[in-house]
Structure 1
Amino acid sequence: MLIALVEDDPIQAEMLALTLNSGGHESRVFHNSLSFFEALKATHFDLLLLDWNLPDYSGGMIVKWVRENVGWQIPIMIATAVDDEANVVAALKSGADDYLVKPIKPMEILARIEVLARRFKAIAPQVLHLGSYEIDTSQRLIRKAGQEIELTQKEFDLALFLFQHPGKLFSRMNLLEKIWGLNVEIDTRTVDTHISRLRKKLALDGQLQWQLTSVYGYGYRLESVVLATP
């Protein structure tokens, strides 16, 4: 798993990063909220591990912002020295999925990460929310600002895949294989055509914060135009 580790204490951050690495995870460390917000523009993380007390924004503000702007499909774990019932309740109510009190026990945090990964895999939401977009996987439809958008089957499959991986760059060939199959004999220009249609139908040009950007000669990425801080 790729884990975003937001921790202002360099020593604590290094210890946590080593622990995550020992469990087979990759981590990226951020010492303040602003650098973390900037990274979210281009990177899809599998889990967020946040300190509750940071120098710029509180953990509660960050969790609330992530839920409103990124969605509920990513697990959030709080790691803090604050061992207080009211704080635990506040963290969970704001949208966190787990709460750990420092000093962190290596085996415990790795086990909790494994539990969160299983839980999120098992109860993958039928409705995904990303800003003004709502993706209903059971009914296979997408709503833009509350309005249902008519899409073909492949357009929906492509949109769903991109909405499930905001910020991640995919090559044309990768998208072709994921949506149309490994052995399909279709030109990669098919991907370009479908991307163009999605941009128009879903207004993925930045009007509603999200846009489908192209990387010349390579592929596409769904990214936020402006990730406003809390």
Structure 2
Amino acid sequence: MTANILLVEDEVKLARFVELELSYEGYTISVAHDGFSGLTMARESPPDLVILDWMMPGMTGIEVCRRLRATGSKTPIILLTAKDEVSDRVTGLDAGADDYVVKPFSIEELLARVRAHLRRTQESDPDVLHFEDLSLNRRTREIVRAGRSIELTAKEFDLLDYLLSHPRQVITRDQILEKVWGYDFMGDSNIIEVYVRYLRLKLEENGEKRVIQTVRGVGYVLRD
């Protein structure tokens, strides 16, 4: 699973430690060391998840959380804090946080919380398609494989989108021509083979295993 995570933490050493651990897991990390910067980054480039420290100088994590929710953001937010009273938990959740991790914490616990919230978000988002270590975001038109961003042309994107929408289903060449190129396509039917080859080159650039398989005499299938 790949995602963009925004970490807002004013303790520089702790922020660096968490950033390294998250990066090791394959996530793309942005870091802010104060609430105002974190709020600005979350608004300008909405992440898939926010890890937010409660106690920060200037704008607190609670205020950042409230302001994000006031703009309609549904991004999962995990609060980090040394406050562990029930009333503190209630305050954080009422401000719009989705979860709460008390300092000092186990990095394994934080990673498990991150995975759980991202899984719920991605499973319920019809605009984000996944297969193995490959993901496609229809809104942002981002393609990521094993943490690596992949640039596709418009038609390459449409072809991959169609294949990801029908994982493990054998799709005929005629179906691909109709859905990706349209009913009125009058060009060379070998165009499919050409674009499949382009996709494979880009998806397998770092030696990744092949996921677009050829079914001889029929078409193609997305499978391991």
Q: TM-score, normalised by structure 1?
A: 0.54
List runs of 5+ in structure 2 lacking aligned partners. 127-137, 143-150, 164-175, 183-224
Offset of residue 121 of structure 1: 2.9
Offset of residue 124 of structure 1: 4.6
Q: How far apart, in 1, do the equivalents of 2:155 and 2:112 lie? A: 32
Q: How far apart, in 2, do the equivalents of 1:174 and 1:91 lie? A: 45
Query: In structure 1, the residue corresponding to 2:44 is in which secondary structure?
Result: coil
Percent identity over the alignment is: 30
Classify 1:96/1:177 alpha carbon distance in 2 versus 1 (closer, same or farther; 3 Å).
same
Confirm whether residue 69 of structure 1 aligns to residue 50 of structure 2: no
**Deviation string for 1:103-131 (max 9, x for gaps)?**
12111111111111122234459xxxxxx
Displacement over 6 Å in runs of 4+: none
Amino acid at match of 1:173: A
**Deviation string for 1:186-209 (max 9, x for gaps)?**
8xxxxxxxxxxxxxxxxxxxxxxx
Q: How far apart, in 2, do the equivalents of 1:99 and 1:117 lie? A: 15
Conserved in 1, the CA contact under 8 Å of 2:6 and 2:50? yes
Amino acid at match of 1:56: G
Cα RMSD (Å):
3.2
Query: In structure 1, the residue corresponding to 2:84 is in which secondary structure?
Result: coil
Query: In structure 1, the residue corresponding to 2:116 is in which secondary structure?
Result: helix
Amino acid at match of 2:118: A
Task: Find 1:177's aligned residue among 148, 153, 158.
Answer: 158
Classify 1:23/1:162 alpha carbon distance in 2 versus 1 (closer, same or farther; 3 Å).
closer
Residues matched between the structures, number: 147
Confirm whether residue 83 of structure 1 aligns to residue 64 of structure 2: no
Q: What pairs up with 1:109-120 in 2 under 5 angstroms? A: 109-120=110-121
Cross-structure match for 2:39: 37
Classify 1:42/1:177 alpha carbon distance in 2 versus 1 (closer, same or farther; 3 Å).
farther
Conserved in 1, the CA contact under 8 Å of 2:35 and 2:59? yes
Cross-structure match for 1:46: 48
List runs of 5+ in structure 1 lacking aligned partners. 126-160, 187-230
Q: How far apart, in 2, do the equivalents of 1:2 and 1:65 lie? A: 20
Q: How far apart, in 2, do the equivalents of 1:109 and 1:181 lie? A: 35
Cross-structure match for 1:213: none
Q: How far apart, in 1, do the equivalents of 2:65 and 2:43 lie? A: 16
Q: What pairs up with 1:109-188 in 2 under 5 angstroms? A: 109-124=110-125, 162=139, 173=154, 177=158, 184-185=180-181
Q: How far apart, in 1, do the equivalents of 2:95 and 2:89 lie? A: 10
Amino acid at match of 1:9: E
Offset of residue 48 of structure 1: 0.2
Q: How far apart, in 1, do the equivalents of 2:155 and 2:39 lie? A: 27
Q: How far apart, in 2, do the equivalents of 1:50 and 1:40 lie? A: 11
